[in-house]
Amino acid sequence: MHIYFCGSIRGGRQDVEVYQRIVRKLQTYGKVLTEHVSHAEVSEKGEDAALDGDKAIHDRDVEWLASSDVIVAEVTQPSLGVGYELGRAVAMNKRILCLFRPSSGRALSAMIRGADCRAEGSVFKVLDYTEEEVEGILEKYFGELTKN
C-alpha cells in the first residue's frame, strides 16, 4: 500500500514530533511516500534547496498523490500546502483521513471538517485525537480499510 502523509512544512514545524509518531505507525501499513515531512531537519523553509525548486516539489508531490492508495493528513497546524494536497486528493477520489488535535486550541477549517459527510463508506474522514491515542486511531482506520 502506498500512503501519502500530509503535514505542515512552510506553515510551521511545531508538530514535527507528532508527524514522526504518525509516520512510524503508517510505515507498518505500507510505504510512506512522503516520510520526509516527518524529518526534524526539514525546516519551515522547506526542502527546495535540495531540489530544482518549487515546481519540482509540486510536480513530484502531485505524482506521489496520484500513485497513493490512501492519504493521511495531520491538519492541526494550518497549512496552505496541506489544504492544496487535500483538494487535489479529493479531485482524484482518494481515500483521505484527516487528524486534528482539539487540544491545540485551534479551530479546524470548515472546508476540512465539512468535507466529512459521516456517511458509511465515505472516502473523506476527519477524526479528532490526542497524541496518546493516535496509534489506536490509525490501527482502527487501516483495519477497516483492509476489510473493504
pLDDT band at 119 (very low <50, low <70, confident <90, very high): low
Q: Which helix (H) or strand (E) holds 17?
A: helix 16-26
Q: What is the mean pLDDT of residues 90-117?
A: 93
Partnered with residue 76 across adjacent β-strands are none
pLDDT band at 138 (very low <50, low <70, confident <90, very high): very high
Return the closest-CA partner of residue 138 out of 16, 37, 58, 18: 18
- Beta strands (DSSP E) in the chain are 2-6, 31-32, 70-74, 95-100, 124-128
Is the model more confident about 117 or about 116? 116
pTM of the model: 0.92
Tens digits of per-residue pLDDT, 84-99?
A: 999 999 999 999 999 9
- Average pLDDT of the chain is 90
Partnered with residue 99 across adjacent β-strands are 74, 127
CB 5 within 8 A of CB 37: yes
Give me the pLDDT at residue 148, please: 65
Tens digits of per-residue pLDDT, 26-78?
A: 999 999 999 989 887 887 777 755 567 888 889 999 999 999 999 999 999 99
Rounded to whole angstroms, the Cα distance separating 34 from 45 reads 17
Q: Which three cell numbers stand for residue 15?
A: 508538530
